[in-house]
Amino acid sequence: MELRELAERIVFSKDLEAKLWCPEVITDHSPGVALPAPVVPHRHVCLKFSESKGKSVFPSLRMLEKECIRGKILHYFANHELLATELMALVILKFPDAPKSFRRGVLKTLKDEQLHTRMYLCRLKKIQVEFGQYPVNGFFWKMIAPMRTPMDYVSRLSLTFEQANLDFSKFFEGQFNQVGDLDSSKLLGRIYRDEISHVGYGLKWFRRWKEPGQTDWEAFEAQLDFPLSPRRAKASPFNVSGRERVGFDDDFIQRLHVYSKSKGRTPGVFYFNLFAEQIMAGGPGFTPNKRQLAYEEDLETILLFLARSDDVVLLRKQPRLAYLVTLKDAGLELPQIEKLENGAVRQDSELLDRKVGQLRPWAWSPDAISVLEPFKARLPQKPSPSGAAWEKEIRPMFGKDWSALQLRHFLLQAELPDWLCPLQVVGDVVDSMEQAIARMDLLRQEGFERLVVKSIFGAAGGNMLRLWETALTERQMAWIRNTLKREKRLLIEPWLDRWIDFSVHWEVEPSGIRSVGWTHLNVDARGQYRGSMWMPSFTRGLPPGLAKFAHEGEPDRMVRIYEDLANFLQPLILKTGFRGPMGLDAAIYRDPQGNPMLKPVLEINPRFTMGRLALELRRHIAPGCAGHLQMAGIPDLKKSGFPGFGQWMHALRKKYPVRLDDHGRLNSGMVCLNDPSEARGCLAVWQVARHPHDCHGLYR
């Protein structure tokens, strides 16, 4: 039989037996003319592709011990093998002028795919599942059939979908073995070994046809058109050894391992602008100094952990490949990374041709609005206000005076419970030195010995003046004058004997305020931020005696008060047009009699916060574990006795090694959220442990 006749039989016959039959002798003397691909391969009605436009639902692995679930999975794989057979027949028909040796190789692989399909059908029959019993998907055909050249074929089928099967087949071989289905495990093991040779065959021709001077990775990434991308060429767990056996080089394997790009979901676009408050305080003329720029550059990679794997993060600097590999090895999923050029999105970026779901800067401020401007036309709905609307509506929300005003109005709206802070501790705004001194005198007359004077746009406990003595020094007077000159006003409030600091995290959406979760705050004796702790239960992190205070009532008082606060603030916030993350810092403090009191708002941050980062990192840790986000600066590095962040973290990671559970989630250990070998001013570390008291390794 001629090879062309066999290929036509496979693509155009509706009979399954005809598709899976192959004679012993096949010649290729008359390849004929190129045939266009049919919309779909011809199949019996029970094997036609499902019309459903939604994602094909893959059975849950939690129920793998059930034979019916294993049957669905095997049915799913059987269709993939049949599709591969049909696509290999199609490449023979579409490219009659391809090298004879290439066509012979395709035939050899086609025979393997026919055999694999028959093996699956045999196994399905033994467990009483009929092929066609469940819907089948035609995604492979849709993605590969439009191929223009044989290079498209090896890139899309061999190096993408068949390469992904190096992960799937190896993984399910082990899973079936664990539940005692040895026959299915043996079948997947056979397919895995054959898949190594199939991918190797594609790699051989890929290297022959790629552009001279291109690396394998450069050529592979350039060859795939959206929605195909290298992300389709892998699954989890990622099988490094199988790819090494195929013959991929280390650079290709590592780049594929860390690669991420949306498979179809409309991505959010994330941008890091750490100095939103400073820009607002200093006006258009604010320029970060060298230390501040180093801090921002160090920390921009924290966006990788706020975003989902389908999202895009805009970074000023491309992270080192070796660093990204350490994150993947720690069980962390990574989003797509887009490097900015001179602080802006490249004009030739493929992102500008794609729809985006939402814009997610660290904070809505003029610098973020400028960088994200090119994406506005790609949004399904209007983003937060910009320009004059931003200046009028959203900018005031960043000020501590706005937070104090809203807390005051909230406390005045109803009769106060005796466990909520009195109005005297809310804080008052002053706009002159005379008003500042008068307010300080009044607070001291009311019994508050220690005071704090806050910059309106300070962040992370910085830019504040702590007053423990009655008389102001010349230096303190100068600080007040300079801050008033720059910001026109200050906030003065009592310094509270805080028992615990915590933060409440919201997401402001068009429909209203959605609660995201809680984190505990780690602040030093001066009130400056050092880190955030997330625990499965908020109570788990409370000192003895506070659990009853926090959770009294049904629902408990902490839940009630923040539901009431959200309902109170929601109309005001939605009216501004603001959408996005919002964090409320709060504290439980001791009154003069030693009783616990709640100040439900210390400040409201209409932006991402480090506490929100800790909350998002919980997605990657094993159930029951606690996580501690810790921030270390140059003073901490000097105390450690190590010459650099890299050496310090190397020692700490030996002491607290990363360990994953059976599902690839972080069970214990330390993960650096920015590259310690390149950090110049700051290091963010995520430490995970079974017990909260074990999450303090950075400062021990």
Q: What is the pLDDT of residues 108-145, one digit of tens each?
A: 999 999 999 999 999 999 999 999 999 999 999 999 99
Q: Is residue 700 over pLDDT 70?
A: no
Q: Is residue 71 over pLDDT 90?
A: yes
| CATH number for 130 | 1.20.1260
Q: Would strands 312-315 and 336-339 be described as parallel, antiparallel, or unpaired?
A: parallel
Are 86 and 157 contained in the same domain? Answer: yes
Are 238 and 326 contained in the same domain? Answer: no
Is residue 606 situated within a structural domain?
no
Q: Domain count for the chain, please give it.
A: 3
389 pLDDT tier (thresholds 50, 70, 90): low
Q: Give the separation between CA 412 and CA 488, rounded to whole angstroms.
A: 26
696 pLDDT tier (thresholds 50, 70, 90): low
Is residue 475 situated within a structural domain?
no
Are 211 and 179 contained in the same domain? Answer: yes
CB of 585 closer than 8 Å to CB of 547: no
Q: Is residue 82 over pLDDT 90?
A: yes
Of the residues 258, 287, 309, the one at which a domain ends: 258
Preceding omega of 623 cis (within 30 degrees of 0): no
What pLDDT is stored for residue 54 in this prediction?
44
Are 232 and 291 contained in the same domain? Answer: no
The 8-class DSSP code of residue 691 comes to S
What pLDDT is stored for residue 385 in this prediction?
63
Place of tokens 């005809």: 18
Is residue 414 situated within a structural domain?
no
Are 43 and 112 contained in the same domain? Answer: yes
Q: Is residue 640 over pLDDT 80?
A: yes
Q: Please compute the mean of the pLDDT values over residues 502-515 and round it to a whole number.
A: 95
Q: Largest Cα–Cα distance of the chain, in whole Å?
A: 104
CB of 301 closer than 8 Å to CB of 326: no
Are 210 and 348 contained in the same domain? Answer: no
The 8-class DSSP code of residue 586 comes to E
Residues 530-543 as b or e (16 or more Cβ within 10 Å = b) = bbbbbbeebeebbe
Of the residues 361, 383, 405, the one at which a domain ends: 383
Q: Is residue 554 over pLDDT 80?
A: no
Phi, psi for residue 687 in degrees, rounded to 5: -110, 130
Are 377 and 245 contained in the same domain? Answer: no
Are 220 and 286 contained in the same domain? Answer: no
Q: Is residue 461 over pLDDT 60?
A: no
Is residue 203 situated within a structural domain?
yes
Average per-residue pLDDT in the chain? 90
Are 253 and 273 contained in the same domain? Answer: no
Residue 625 belongs to domain spanning: 621-700
Of the residues 383, 403, 429, the one at which a domain ends: 383
Question: What digits encode the pLDDT tens for the residues 238-255?
Answer: 999 999 999 999 999 999
Model confidence, pTM? 0.86
| Higher per-residue confidence, 294 vs 459 | 294
What pLDDT is stored for residue 291 in this prediction?
84
Are 165 and 214 contained in the same domain? Answer: yes
What pLDDT is stored for residue 186 in this prediction?
97
What beta strand segments (E) does 267-367 contain? Answer: 268-271, 312-315, 336-339, 358-361
Phi, psi for residue 590 in degrees, rounded to 5: -95, 135
Q: Is residue 399 over pLDDT 70?
A: yes
Preceding omega of 555 cis (within 30 degrees of 0): yes
Is residue 456 situated within a structural domain?
no
Identify how many contiguous H helices and E strands the chain contains and give both numbers.
Answer: 25, 17
Is residue 510 situated within a structural domain?
no
Is residue 506 situated within a structural domain?
no
Is residue 225 situated within a structural domain?
yes
Are 643 and 695 contained in the same domain? Answer: yes
Among the residue ranges 209-218, 346-355, 426-435, 439-448, the one predicted with the least confidence is 346-355
The 8-class DSSP code of residue 80 comes to H
Sign of the torsion angle spanned by Cα atoms 28, 34, 37, 42: negative
How big is the CA angle at 278 (ends 272 and 283), to the nearest 5 degrees? Answer: 115
Are 218 and 347 contained in the same domain? Answer: no
What pLDDT is stored for residue 384 in this prediction?
61
| Higher per-residue confidence, 61 vs 16 | 16
Q: Is residue 183 over pLDDT 70?
A: yes
